[in-house]
A and B are shown apart, each in its own frame.
Chain A
Amino acid sequence: MLRLVEALGSWGLRTVRGLGRMGIFFFLMVRGAFHAPKKYHPVLKQIHFIGTKSFFVIAFTAAFTGMVLALQGYYTLSKFGSEGLLGSAVALSLIRELGPVLTALMVTGRAGSAMCAEIGIMRIEEQIDALECMAIDPHAYLVTPRVMAALIALPLLTAFCNVVGIFGGYLIGVELLGVSAGAYMDGIYTSVAWNDVYMGIVKSICFAVLIIWICTYKGFYTGVDEGNFGPEEVSRATTQAVVFASISILMSDYILTSILM
């Protein structure tokens, strides 16, 4: 019984300490934007890494999601004789919900995990200590450029995901299932309002911050609590980063939707 209480207490302390450290990490990440290293702005490099290199994976995901949405949507709408609304259904589902979420999940899997592993390796190989010893703020140097890049790349990737998804839906709905092209496009034009696009943008911005915050935090503190700086800690941190970031994206998606509805 005493052991259970001790374990619970220890878990509680660890959790509170971890949350506090995450809060401080967030503050330092934001502060880094105000004293970023002179002349050394790797933001473009990170936009290339997070954005450009994610194009294909996003395109694939978006195209097939749009196609499935069209198939499922056509099946459901045809029961009510409303196939003409297929364009609206696909576009609204993507712009308001699936576009931001799928893009964020894909970026987490592709770029977030890589970031966590890279920073984790820097931690275990004393490279972060080396930065500190060179009087370089590791948060400003490693984390801030990534969050700035993600804030630019993620909304653009989301928009790209939406367009490709709508096109995928068009291919199936119009070319395969015979929905009128005019009805499909007109449905999008008449049903999608600024508020829907706004919701997608807000979500993608929030997800960008969440992905970078969680993935870089996990990498930054790789092995610190365990006092073990072995390679297995990097793999553990990377797994945790992807899992926590994905869960946070899905949870915050619900919260944001309920606020922005």
Chain B
Amino acid sequence: MSASPVITIRNLNSHYQGHQVLHDVSFQVPRNQITVIMGMSGCGKTTLLRHLVALKKTGLNQIEVDGKDMGKYQEKELSAYRRRIGVLFQSGALFNSLSVAENIAVPLKVHTALPGEIIRIMALIKLNMVGLVDVADYLPSQLSGGMRKRAGLARSLAMDPEILFVDEPSAGLDPITAAALDQLILELKETLGMTIIVVTHELRSAFDIADQMVVMDKGRILQAGSPDTIRESGNERVQQFLRREADQGSLKTEEYVAQLMA
């Protein structure tokens, strides 16, 4: 693990509509490595991700990026941080009215003064990285689910981010497409030296790509460490998750509502 973590999360608590979604979440994101945050649906993974990409307001001294407190970010610092990151949303979040290439060109058009032809070439380079150069002029609605994810990944790479956040890369994809996307994420780390944070509940995918893992349940971290540490964990809940065993007995109503709210 690198000596200087890129992101340090300390006792992060988060609430949504009166319910506490995250409870004292603390861990570090090592530089140039892949950190996988995993857990059951509704365990607070996505809320954690929204804090990390600054879509959800964070209190003071809860998240530090390169030693700077995210809670103290002013508008300029927030904008600077967001230029350092790339985010692949679960749905791809492509703009439906723009072609795939135009989608990738959006951040380049807004943040650079490059001429249109150069921006188009840069968009095609990014699409080539994800193997989608042939569908550059297609609309997102004309693509398959896997292609949309890869196009979303290409857009998140448009500004050459230092940190890449990926939300559920394998969700809704067939095993072959999911494996290809995992391979792509590994290549990005190895070739570009990116720090990558992946949120997923797909065990196979998580163990394939992770350098470090964080297992969450009901808004709390059950265990964090290398994939081997997680595999050998003595925590019964972690083992239950790894063995894909259903909960004994039905969920209590309050727990179900809390999970839904999360």
- CB pair A134–B107 under 8 Å, yes or no, is yes
**Interface residues as binary, B212-248 with A (CB distance below 8 Å gives 1, 0 otherwise):** 0000000000000000000000000000000000000
Closest 3 CB pairs of A and B: A135-B82, A130-B93, A133-B87
A130 touching B109 in the complex, CB below 8 Å, given contacts A122-B95, A125-B93, A135-B79: no
Q: CB within 8 Å of A: which residues of B?
A: 16-17, 53-55, 79-80, 82-83, 85-87, 89-91, 93-97, 106-107, 109-113, 155, 158-159
Distance of B254 from chain A, by nearest CB (Å): 18
Q: Which of A38, A118, A129 contacts B109 (CB 8 A)?
A: A38
CA gap between A227 and B18 in the complex, in Å:
12
A-B CB contacts (within 8 Å), total count: 60
CB distance from B97 to the nearest CB of A (A): 8
The interface residues of chain A lying within 8 Å CB-to-CB of B112 are 38
Distance of A23 Cα from B97 Cα, bound (Å): 29
C-beta contact mask, A95-134 vs B, less than 8 Å → 1, else 0?
Answer: 0000000000000000000000010011001110110111
Whole-angstrom distance between the alpha carbons of A122 and B98 in the complex? 12
Cross-chain pairs A/B with CB under 8 angstroms, 16 sampled: A37-B109, A38-B110, A39-B109, A121-B96, A122-B95, A130-B89, A130-B93, A132-B55, A133-B87, A134-B106, A134-B158, A134-B159, A135-B80, A135-B107, A141-B110, A227-B17
Residue of B nearest to A133 (CB): B87
Given A122-B95, A126-B93, A133 and B53 contact (CB-CB distance below 8 Å): yes
Q: Inside 8 A of A135's CB, which chain B residues have their CB?
A: 79-80, 82-83, 107, 111
State whether B89 touches A129 (Cβ < 8 A). Answer: yes
Q: A122-B95, A129-B55 are in contact. Are A134 and B110 (CB under 8 A)?
A: yes
A221 CA to B94 CA, complexed, in Å:
19
Chain B residue at smallest Cβ distance from A136: B110
A40 at the interface (CB under 8 A from B): yes
Determine the distance from Cα of A4 to Cα of B52 in the docked complex, in whole angstroms.
41
Contact residues in B for A134 (Cβ distance below 8 Å): 82, 106-107, 110, 158-159
| Cβ contact of B91, chosen from A125, A132, A133, A136, cutoff 8 A | A125
Interface positions of A (Cβ within 8 A of B) = 37-40, 118, 121-122, 125-127, 129-130, 132-136, 141, 227
- Beta-carbon contact of B82 and A39 below 8 Å: no
Q: Chain B residues near A126 (CB, 8 Å)?
A: 89-91, 93
Q: How far is the CA of A130 from the CA of B140 in the complex (A)?
A: 15
- Distance in angstroms from B227 CB to nearest chain A CB is 28
In the bound complex, CA of A200 to CA of B152 (Å): 46
In-complex Cβ contact of B55 among A118, A122, A127, A133 (8 A): A133
Could you tell me the distance between the alpha carbons of A127 and B109 in the complex, rounded to whole angstroms? Answer: 17
Which residues does chain B contribute within 8 Å of A129, judged by CB atoms? 55, 89, 93
Asked if B89 contacts A136 (CB within 8 A), the reply is no
- Centre residue among A40, A122, A127, A130 by max chain B CB count within 10 A: A130
- List, in ascending order, chain B residues with CB within 8 A of A121's CB: 96
Are B95 and A127 neighbours in the complex by a CB distance under 8 Å?
A: yes
Which residues of B are found within 8 Å of A122, using beta-carbon distances? 95
CB of B108, distance to nearest CB on chain A (Å): 10
CA distance A38 to B97 in the complex (A): 20
Measured in the bound complex, the distance between the Cα atoms of B109 and A40 in whole Å is 6
B107 contact set on A, CB distance < 8 A = 134-136
With a cutoff of 8 Å between Cβ atoms, the chain A residues found around residue B97 in the complex are: 118
Q: Is the CB of B87 within 8 A of A130?
A: yes
Cβ of A37 and Cβ of B110 under 8 Å apart? yes
CB closest chain-A residue, reference B75? A137
